[in-house]
Structure 1
Amino acid sequence: MTLRITAVDAPPGALHELRLEVREFLRREIAAGGFEPEADAWMSGVDPAFSRRLAGRGWVGMTVPARYGGHGRSALERYVVTEELLVAGAPVAAHWIADRQMAPGILRNGSEEQKHRYLPGIVRAEQFMAIGMSEPDSGSDLASVRTRAVEVDGGWRLTGTKVWTSVAHIATAIVVLARTDEGGDRHSGLSQFIVDLPHPAVTISPIITIDGAHHFNEVVFDDAVVPQSALLGRRGDGWRQVTAELGNERSGPERFLSALPLLLAWTRTGAFADDPLARADLGRLVSRLTALRQLSLAVAERLSAGENPAVEAALVKDLGTAFEGEMVDVVRRHVDPASGAVPEQLAAMLAKAVLHVPAFTLRGGTNEVLRSIVAKGLTGR
């Protein structure tokens, strides 16, 4: 059995040709040893050279307008490319945040100076970006951030600590959520800043995960002074800006396809064919995958229309990451690496996926926080 993500809802044509083009590029990359397919590679697969090869094909910053160095392509075209990269288990983590969140964020909120300064580098996969949101003891409660930005002569002084900051160790800039004003509710008085890296008053320390990998970081701002032009968007409008960015972060296909390379590796063995329980498990996963994909596409369409479907995005992330964990559980239930009959690549992929599963429901907001967002949103409606 070959399990494939078929063309996005569109007639055969440009989207289908794009999908085949990306698929062939990835096939050649794997054959040439460009990368080894892995589960969850969009989080842990940091390979700037691979990101630049993608950029050379026009597959990074696809929706950025041409006047800022981009390609002006549709959100649906970007979705096609994203799916193929995830299915192949390609190492895209270096450019992922810049392409997924910060390019749209800068387009929506940035000054013309910021757009011309950062967007062309994102498109070329030369500008890598991190996001400073989570803080010690704050978890997913972004409204409780304690990092402060104080206005000083000619700029701002930032003080505070961010944790679980993805790819900060290779980033050329970090977008920081900080409190600039007091008063009002917990969501007011927050602002965003783009801080160029390296910076003499910013210290980046690795956080090593259980599998020994370095993807996350602690980032300390020790009275780091940045220019006035570092303010992204309007002062005090950070909460609205961040929630819009989280819509991009939480609703994409990476929220339910992270573990798909593992499932595909298992199906290619054909081991499920004579096992009715395994076939039933696989059937349930495929049906749920179809539904999640339709939900994700619907959110992507609303985002591309300039809307902020925060509730729907939270729902994709909650259901999607639970589904990813179930994918790993199904393969684990039907595969015994100790038997000696399991392909080496599948065994290695399964071992890594088992270690990553606990993080699926944490990154991008815990399930408890996401369900609170959904409940409040539905109550409001």
Structure 2
Amino acid sequence: MLLPNDWHINRAVQTFAVHPFEAAENAQAIRQDLRAFLAEHQPQDDPVRRANCWTEFDPAFSKALGAAGYIGMLWPENYGGHERGPLERYIVLEELLAAGAPVGAHWIADRQTGPLLLRYGTEGQREKYLPGFAAGTMYACIGLSEPGSGSDLASVRTSARRTDNGWVINGQKVWTTGAHISHAMLALVRSEEGSERQAGLSQFLIDLDLPGVTIRPIIDMFGTHHFNEVFFEDVEIPHGALVGAEGEGWKQATAELALERSGPERYLSSHALLVELIDSAGPDAPPEVVATVGRLVSEMWTLRQMSMSVAAKLAGGEDPAVEASIVKDLGNTFEQELPLAIQAVVDADLADDTVLAKLLATLLQVSPSFSLRGGTREILRGIIARGLGLR
């Protein structure tokens, strides 16, 4: 899994502090209950939708999932949550991803926006948004990337100008996943001009149905619509839209990215293809297929243990930014290598109508993007190097 010249990643892995979860007595019961739910509610239309499923939007599925108690699992009950344990939630996430369930509609609200509001938000913000998030009927998107900023997040130029009634937002966000179905955006904007780059940033919850908000689709090479451009033209928001204190946006955004970078979606995006290979090969698979499956499964299991360790630290109130970056970097490498490794050992025409061929063709085209979302490999390795005192 590790390339010979990835010397700082090797060193980082060697220093990775393992924080195991306490075993949950009801783990098997959770899996069985969720699998029964999926058998009843998961759409069975297009098998290719199982690939990279956390970008697939299905509001009806998200609503059913919320009604069953599988969203907002860690949150307090008075905000619509269920006060379950972190291991229980992790089991639910990996089961959903392994099954290829279309979880994209609620994913960001459950993974990032909700936890951020519990940590930094006001009581009014929690009461307004969290119950809808937990019910799977209200969705959020993240406003970080901007044209011209690239991976330099601190250079964002979207501005917030204070007024007597609140704030006025002007600017543009791009590559915004799910903005076209979302009710609110958690946006990182510049609230103080002339200050140090990070010090002048704040985060705001912006309702996307406000006057002055324009959402335009970005269509990918498959003709599908996941990404968007979002424009803000003199958008008026109340004082209560500010999350936390003014100037805390950089701290909040980096904490939020730790949640984004370390979850099971960082090694399970290509999982549907691995499962289909195993099912297609059967018990009499050729030796080269058996060897490839064995290697991929062992690497996936290692990543799972590392990801769960980061989740345990997050649940304990720690800020494992370096460990989360390691998980994302290694997870992206694994996800991108998986379709190439499988292509090398199967005799599949990518134009075939088999599920294996369809999944392989899809992931060969999609997987290069895996190392871009949530921070490029270069940015992640800079974080890791700083964490190890190498720069």
TM-score range, shorter chain: over 0.9
The residue type paired with residue 32 of structure 2 is L
Task: Give the equivalent residue in structure 1 for 2:248.
Answer: 237
The answer to whether 1:337 aligns with 2:348 is yes
Alpha-carbon distance in 2 for matches of 1:307, 1:182: 31
The residue type paired with residue 66 of structure 1 is E
Alpha-carbon distance in 2 for matches of 1:274, 1:345: 17
Task: Give the equivalent residue in structure 2 for 1:80.
Answer: 91
Task: Give the equivalent residue in structure 2 for 1:25.
Answer: 37
Alpha-carbon distance in 2 for matches of 1:142, 1:279: 43
The answer to whether 1:214 aligns with 2:228 is no
The answer to whether 1:205 aligns with 2:216 is yes
Segment drifting more, 169-178 vs 279-288: 279-288
Alpha-carbon distance in 2 for matches of 1:273, 1:357: 29
Alpha-carbon distance in 2 for matches of 1:131, 1:153: 27
The answer to whether 1:40 aligns with 2:52 is yes
Give secondary structure in 2 for the equivalent of 1:164: coil
**How large is the RMSD of aligned CA atoms in angstroms?**
2.0
Task: Give the equivalent residue in structure 1 for 2:322.
Answer: 311
The answer to whether 1:16 aligns with 2:28 is yes
1:17-65 superposed Cα distances (whole Å, 9 cap, x missing partner): 10111122223335x747745110102x100000011111100111111
The answer to whether the Cα contact below 8 Å between 2:21 and 2:309 also exists between their aligned partners in 1 is no
1:58-101 superposed Cα distances (whole Å, 9 cap, x missing partner): 00111111111111111111100000000001100000000000
Give secondary structure in 2 for the equivalent of 1:167: coil
Task: Give the equivalent residue in structure 1 for 2:365.
Answer: 355
Structure 2 residue corresponding to 1:367, chosen from 377, 384, 390: 377
Structure 1 residue corresponding to 2:238, chosen from 227, 233, 237: 227
Give secondary structure in 2 for the equivalent of 1:235: coil
Q: How is 1:122-133 mapped onto 2 (pairs within 5 angstroms)?
A: 122-133=133-144
The residue type paired with residue 123 of structure 2 is E
Question: Unmatched 5+ residue regions in structure 1?
Answer: 1-7
Q: Under a length normalisation based on structure 1, what TM-score does the superposition of the two structures give?
A: 0.93
The answer to whether 1:135 aligns with 2:146 is yes
Q: How has the CA–CA distance of structure 1 residues 243 and 109 changed in structure 2, closer, same or farther, with 3 Å as cutoff?
A: same
Alpha-carbon distance in 2 for matches of 1:17, 1:25: 12
Structure 1 residue corresponding to 2:102, chosen from 72, 91, 94: 91
Task: Give the equivalent residue in structure 2 for 1:104.
Answer: 115
| Post-superposition offset of 1:104 | 0.3
Alpha-carbon distance in 2 for matches of 1:26, 1:257: 17
Give secondary structure in 2 for the equivalent of 1:176: strand
The answer to whether the Cα contact below 8 Å between 1:35 and 1:91 also exists between their aligned partners in 2 is no
Q: How has the CA–CA distance of structure 1 residues 292 and 147 changed in structure 2, closer, same or farther, with 3 Å as cutoff?
A: same
The residue type paired with residue 376 of structure 2 is T
Question: Unmatched 5+ residue regions in structure 2?
Answer: 1-19
The answer to whether the Cα contact below 8 Å between 1:272 and 1:279 also exists between their aligned partners in 2 is no
The answer to whether 1:188 aligns with 2:199 is yes
The answer to whether 1:175 aligns with 2:205 is no
Q: Under a length normalisation based on structure 2, what TM-score does the superposition of the two structures give?
A: 0.90
Alpha-carbon distance in 2 for matches of 1:133, 1:371: 20
Task: Give the equivalent residue in structure 2 for 1:68.
Answer: 79
Task: Give the equivalent residue in structure 1 for 2:287.
Answer: 276
Q: How has the CA–CA distance of structure 1 residues 301 and 29 changed in structure 2, closer, same or farther, with 3 Å as cutoff?
A: same
The answer to whether 1:296 aligns with 2:307 is yes
Q: Number of paired residues?
A: 371
The answer to whether 1:119 aligns with 2:126 is no
1:348-372 superposed Cα distances (whole Å, 9 cap, x missing partner): 2222212211110100010010001
Alpha-carbon distance in 2 for matches of 1:301, 1:184: 36
The answer to whether 1:262 aligns with 2:290 is no
The answer to whether the Cα contact below 8 Å between 2:140 and 2:186 also exists between their aligned partners in 1 is yes
Q: How has the CA–CA distance of structure 1 residues 10 and 110 changed in structure 2, closer, same or farther, with 3 Å as cutoff?
A: closer
The answer to whether 1:379 aligns with 2:379 is no
Report sequence identity in percent. 49
| Post-superposition offset of 1:273 | 4.1
Q: How has the CA–CA distance of structure 1 residues 90 and 281 changed in structure 2, closer, same or farther, with 3 Å as cutoff?
A: same
Alpha-carbon distance in 1 for matches of 2:361, 2:295: 23
| Post-superposition offset of 1:186 | 2.2
Give secondary structure in 2 for the equivalent of 1:308: coil
Q: How has the CA–CA distance of structure 1 residues 274 and 196 changed in structure 2, closer, same or farther, with 3 Å as cutoff?
A: closer
Alpha-carbon distance in 1 for matches of 2:285, 2:238: 65
Give secondary structure in 2 for the equivalent of 1:337: coil
The residue type paired with residue 268 of structure 2 is L
Task: Give the equivalent residue in structure 2 for 1:164.
Answer: 175
| Post-superposition offset of 1:318 | 0.6
Alpha-carbon distance in 2 for matches of 1:339, 1:240: 45
